[in-house]
Chain A
Amino acid sequence: MQHIVVATDGSPGANRAVDAAARLAKAVGGELVILTIGGSISGAELRKLASASGDLSETLETSANKVLEQARKRALRAGVTEVKLQTGWGDPAETILNTVCSEKAGILVVGRRGRGRLSGLLLGSVSQKLASLAPCAVMVVP
């Protein structure tokens, strides 16, 4: 069975990537692996946590699960039956590549631009890195 990995951060661009990956998975009858990279939280949210009773690990886990759950719903709406959810931590490009290898994915689907716009401009975007380094076909959704 063909494995299709799609990376999402919940942004509109990533949502389009999830829709495209879901249509593809349905067409080829493959398993869709939805991956999100946890750990994106603003300074304001952190400061709020520092003065309240919230737990950062829980917040990160919840926020990653929320992104995955939204993506799963989108995929199911598109008609995919087999969806696997995964959360990764650390450098996005490296984590996505590791998942592609561990899942033996045939296709990787990513959005052209996620939430990290500034770092994308300064360092080169995640999608650019993936397109050059991934060991499989990469579909970049505009």
Chain B
Amino acid sequence: MRLFQHFPLHGGHPLTSRFWHAASPFWRTDKAWGLAIFLLLIVLLQLLVQVLLNLWNRNFFDALARKDPYALWFQAELFVPLAAASILLAAASVWGRMTAQRNWREVTTSHVIEKWLAHDRFSHLNHHMIKGSENPEYRIVVDIRVATDAPIDLSLAFFSSIITSVTFFVVLWTIGGSITVAPFGWPVTIPGYLVFGVIIYSSLVSVLMIVFGQHLTGVIERMNQSDAEFRAAADAFRGNENAGGKTGDGERRQTLQLKLQATLLWWRELLWQLVRTTFVSQGNVLFAPVVAWFLCAPKYLAGAMTLGELTQAAAAFVVVQGAFNWLVDNYQRLADWRSSVHRVATLLLALDELEAKERANGNHRNAAS
């Protein structure tokens, strides 16, 4: 079973590398690296605040269990700066991410526009209708935005997931400690049993998500492609362009209807894929904290864990489980990003083809003179 299918339709890696060739100049500037370091720092600080809030959670519930008003008041006072830090960091993260995205989009879009406008290629592109170059305006405006937005968000989320998992593994290992069970009368001690618990539970959720949504990325990618073809077919009514090599109003109308039908069919399939994955995601939202409480309950009932530690462990369990689900949570964005990258790259390849023809004609003229 493959999580991400390879689509021969797009040619796979050559398209991604063609896109990267056009998009990478931004990442060779000092400004880009400054923003990247700033964002990584924000992620680390957010993790620190998350750990402190997790500790606050334990202390608050312990104070509650002890019915200690002074400790409760102290915890309430402590919450204010923690909450303020968390809010400020979230705002700073939005600023950093969107600034990086805006700058990256600007550099990449300018590069593609230069290439598109040079030697009137925009008009040649329409006349030659090189396969995959339909609707260039949309590719330049929307697809470049999606292609430069998603990697920043996804990379930061991925980095955050890894360091969050590692940090909260330590929290779970420390709080949970070991547990002794006797499945067949033989006592077995499992060290850091909450860590194993979260790994088993998260793996189960991930496997279920992959099984239930095995076609999701393929369907999203095809639906996006279908949308683009539908737009191109509609665009053909402007001016004298042709849609898929068909001329004449009747045939263009037929093509438009056909493309609409294809888009609607993919939309219907996406609906069913999302219905299937919702069973898993919604089940997980309900089960994750309950599983954590059940895993901690034996130690709490035996008096080996305080109420604060129980809530802290449950919260840490949910955090790690959420971090583990990075891939499944970002299924749709990854698929959208792939489609946009492929569409921008196809346009770039079409422009490369025109450029090569221009060079060949130039050489030919030079040789003739």
Contact = CB atoms under 8 A, between A and B. Distances in A.
B261 A55 contact: no
Interface string B16-56: 00000000000000000000000000000000000000000
State the 6 A-B residue pairs at the shortest beta-carbon distance, nearest first: A50-B218, A89-B257, A53-B8, A39-B261, A56-B262, A46-B269
Interface residues of B, number: 25
Contact of A50 (B5, B8, B258, B264): B5
B218 A57 contact: no
B215 A89 contact: no
A88 B261 CA distance: 10
B97 to A, nearest CB: 31
A87 B253 CA distance: 12
A61 B255 CA distance: 10
Interface of A: 38-39, 41, 43, 46-47, 49-51, 53, 55-57, 60-61, 87-90
A43 B269 contact: yes
11 contacts: A41-B265, A43-B269, A43-B272, A46-B265, A50-B219, A56-B266, A57-B229, A60-B258, A60-B261, A60-B262, A89-B257
A120 B258 CA distance: 23
A51 B5 contact: yes
Given A47-B219, A50-B215, A55-B9, A38 B269 contact: no
B99 interface: no
Contacts of B261: 38-39, 60, 89-90
Given A39-B265, A43-B272, A50 B257 contact: no
Interface of B: 2, 5, 7-9, 215, 218-219, 221-222, 226, 229, 254, 257-262, 264-266, 268-269, 272
A61 B219 contact: no
B157 to A, nearest CB: 25
A60 B268 CA distance: 15
A124 B272 CA distance: 24
Interface centre among A53, A61, A89 (most CB of B within 10 A): A89
Most buried by A among B8, B9, B258: B258
A38 B222 contact: no
Nearest to A53: B8
B9 A46 contact: no
Given A43-B272, A47-B219, A47-B269, A53 B7 contact: yes
Most B CB within 10 A of own CB, among A41, A50, A55: A50
Contacts of A60: 258, 261-262, 265
A45 to B, nearest CB: 10
B331 to A, nearest CB: 13
B243 to A, nearest CB: 11
Nearest to B261: A39
A38 B254 CA distance: 11
B218 A51 contact: yes
A51 B226 contact: no
A112 B258 CA distance: 26
B258 A47 contact: no
Nearest to A61: B258
Contacts of A57: 226, 229, 258-259, 262
Contacts of A38: 258, 261
Nearest to A54: B9
Contacts of B269: 43, 46-47, 50
A87 B218 contact: no
Given A46-B265, A46-B266, A89 B258 contact: yes
Given A46-B265, A56-B265, A60-B258, 9 more contacts: A41-B265, A47-B269, A50-B221, A51-B2, A56-B222, A57-B259, A60-B261, A89-B258, A89-B260
